[in-house]
Amino acid sequence: MKQIKEKVDLILSIRRKTIIIFTIGALVFALVGLIDRAVLVRNETKKIQSEYTDKQKQIIRTQVESAVMFINSAKESGVSRENIIESVRKIRFGKEHDGYIFIVTYKGTTLLNDTQRQLEGKNIWNISDPDGVKFVQEMRLAVQNAEGDFIYYFWNKPSTESNSPKVSFMKGVTDWEWMVGSGVYLDSIADDIAALRKAAIQKTGLFTLLLILLFLSLLFIIQFAFKQFTEKVSGEIQLFSSYFNSASMESKEIDISGIRYKSFSSIAEDMNRMIKNKQEADAKIFGSEQRLSMQREQSPLGYLEYDLELRIIYWNPAAERIFGYSKEEILGRSDEIIIPPELIPGIKYIFKELIDGSVSDDKGIKNINDNITKDGRRITCEWYNKALIDQEGKVIGFIALIVDITDRKLMEEKLQESVEEKKVLLKEVHHRVKNNMAIISSFLSLQSMNIEDEYVRNLLQSSENRVRSMALIHEHLYKSENLKDISVQTYIDELVIILLDSYGYGSADISVIKEIMEIELDLDLLIPLGMIINEIISNALKHAYKNIDSPELSIIFSKGTPDELVLTISDNGVGLQEESKISRNDSIGFLLINALAQQIEGKIEINRGHGTEYRITIPV
């Protein structure tokens, strides 16, 4: 009942506030109307003033121009100046016939002023108005314009015997040096305009009064209708309120059949949909909580939850197995119980990063550190820490997953020791292979010294170079860290130096151009590739540079496509002979090149144009 009374009071409060709002609105509306009318009156006044002033100025201009035309016409007819002046004196115009023409000479002597005849015959050249304007001199400047001009000054007004603002139009009669003019007092125009403004204001006041009465009538009608409506709807609100309370407290759907108003019915339908969605969501949440609880309890990973003080508030069975503490022993205690003292500052820093947002919420923080079990053993655990965030993005706690990796770490350490031992052993194998090949190479070199047959000696030298190219690879593997890949650039550089020395070429005897990409290749590819390079360069050094003044050797190793490597070796020698003319010794090398290229699935192209060019494409 209290809630229903509050809703009814709310309706009455709305009605009272509506009356106040409408009253204020009426006053504001009236005030806006008054301001609008005032602006309108002001604009109309300015318009009337401008139009009225322009009209009066046009009248006096017309009269002056007519008078000048009369004077010029009478002058040409031989009429005397005195008669002309008397004829002009009779000119009257205006609503009250108070308009007249006056005449002043160029030097300032008044010839005609019917309203102030005492000035006739007097010189008023230096007379000034109250503002210090020497109006006669201004008249003289105005008549210099052949069409005439207007001047503004103060002059004695006969009807009030006071100086009033006046505008006059002046035009000259040049032959007689007359200044003919007429004027109108500006305060007379202002009086007429004031009368017009007063009438407009009266009209505006009547309009505003009618507007307020109309607005108040409308307010009364609206309030009456609102009162009738609120009385009818209050009962509906009480019914709807009871339904709504039942729905909100018990998640029970509202009976729409008892609601008459469509607005309440629509709200009730929305509420029923919300209740249905809430029931479905509650069922899903309940199921999710059950699954989550089972996953946490049955998980092989340790699962912890902390509050912001880093007190443990959840501890699953896997955590019990890892650390030896039961749930009853650990809940509410600080995590420092399972952390070695020297590691506590670092662990606190991790949680500080999670609170500060230094780490993305999606990533969390993974760390590996030692921990202490209940029985005092040191174990190594892998932790995955993550902040718990509420809907506003505020950190409300932390969760952690733990894996005991003590055994795995020991196994990794043993494996690492084994790997290190094998690395040492493999290095020793490569070292011994390299030494054995060096011995074989030395034997071949010594043997070739004792052989006079050039053909046999060349065979031994070729074999020696082939052995040295393979020995060089094992030497690099022995020096390499990973015992698998060798830098192609370094290997080719050293192989070229060995071959040049073997055939007696110094650095000044031949120009070697090398463009070798930085890449590492494994043993299975590099040994055949090295022997191919050995055969091609050896053949060039033996045959290509006979009678060549500036020998050049080019070695380019690069990527052709993302899936291909390209080795290009060229010389500027005499060119490779046709295969039918290649000597028996050299044909062995040629066959060896083809066989090795097939071994690495390479494709050989030979260009015998200017010198010889080998282009070998190797798939990778």
Quick check: is 250 in a domain? Answer: no
Quick check: is 242 in a domain? Answer: no
> Mean per-residue pLDDT for 35-46?
68
- Position 4 confidence tier, pLDDT thresholds 50, 70, 90: very low
**171's tokens:** 């035009």
Task: Kindly tell me if the per-residue pLDDT of 125 is higher than 80.
Answer: yes
Task: Kindly tell me if the per-residue pLDDT of 7 is higher than 60.
Answer: no
Q: Would you state the pLDDT for residue 331?
A: 92
Same domain, 202 and 61: yes
pLDDT in tens, 569-614: 999 888 776 554 444 445 677 788 888 889 889 999 988 877 889 9
**Mean pLDDT value across the chain:** 78
Same domain, 141 and 172: yes
Quick check: is 272 in a domain? Answer: no
- Position 226 confidence tier, pLDDT thresholds 50, 70, 90: low
Q: Would you state the pLDDT for residue 218?
A: 74
Same domain, 81 and 190: yes
Quick check: is 386 in a domain? Answer: yes
Same domain, 341 and 475: no
E-strand stretches of 419-540: 485-487, 511-516, 520-522
Quick check: is 267 in a domain? Answer: no
pLDDT in tens, 432-462: 665 666 677 676 666 667 677 766 766 666 7
Task: Kindly tell me if the per-residue pLDDT of 13 is higher than 50.
Answer: yes
Q: Are 74 and 90 in contact (CB under 8 A)?
A: no
Same domain, 418 and 478: yes
- Percent share of the chain, pLDDT over 90: 15
Domain end residue (candidates: 483, 515, 547)? 483
pLDDT in tens, 501-536: 877 888 788 999 999 998 888 778 888 888 888 888
Q: What is the CATH number of the domain that holds 321?
A: 3.30.450.20
- pTM as predicted: 0.35
Q: How many domains does the chain have?
A: 4
Same domain, 423 and 461: yes
Q: Would you state the pLDDT for residue 492?
A: 84
- Percent share of the chain, pLDDT over 70: 67
Q: Would you state the pLDDT for residue 104?
A: 93
Per-range mean pLDDT, top range of 94-98, 169-173, 203-207: 169-173
Q: What is the CATH number of the domain that holds 604?
A: 3.30.565.10
For the ranges 176-190, 297-311, 512-526, 566-580, the lowest mean pLDDT is seen at: 566-580
Same domain, 328 and 450: no
**156's tokens:** 């004695």
Can you tell me the distance from the alpha carbon of 339 to that of 605, in angstroms, rounded to the nearest whole number?
A: 68
Of residues 391 and 189, more confidence is placed in 391
Same domain, 139 and 14: yes
Neighbour count for residue 518 (Cβ, 10 Å) = 8
> Mean per-residue pLDDT for 151-158?
84
pLDDT in tens, 230-273: 666 665 666 556 656 665 566 666 666 666 655 556 666 666 67
Same domain, 517 and 567: yes
Q: Would you state the pLDDT for residue 179?
A: 93
CA angle 31, 33, 35 (to 5 degrees): 70
> Mean per-residue pLDDT for 544-558?
88
Domain extent for 417: 407-483
> Mean per-residue pLDDT for 85-103?
85
CA atoms within 13 A on the CB side of 15: 18
Region for 393 from its dihedrals, namely left if φ exceeds 0, alpha if ψ lies in -120 to 50, beta otherwise: left
How many Å is the Cα radius of gyration of the chain?
Answer: 59
- Long-range CB contacts (< 8 A, 24+ apart) of 359-365? 361/386, 361/387, 361/389
Q: Would you state the pLDDT for residue 361?
A: 53
Domain end residue (candidates: 483, 514, 542)? 483
Q: Are 485 and 524 in contact (CB under 8 A)?
A: no
Q: Would you state the pLDDT for residue 6?
A: 55
> Mean per-residue pLDDT for 537-558?
87
Q: Would you state the pLDDT for residue 14?
A: 64
Same domain, 73 and 158: yes
Of residues 569 and 488, more confidence is placed in 569
Quick check: is 397 in a domain? Answer: yes
Same domain, 535 and 445: no
Domain end residue (candidates: 375, 404, 433)? 404
Quick check: is 49 in a domain? Answer: yes
Same domain, 347 and 431: no
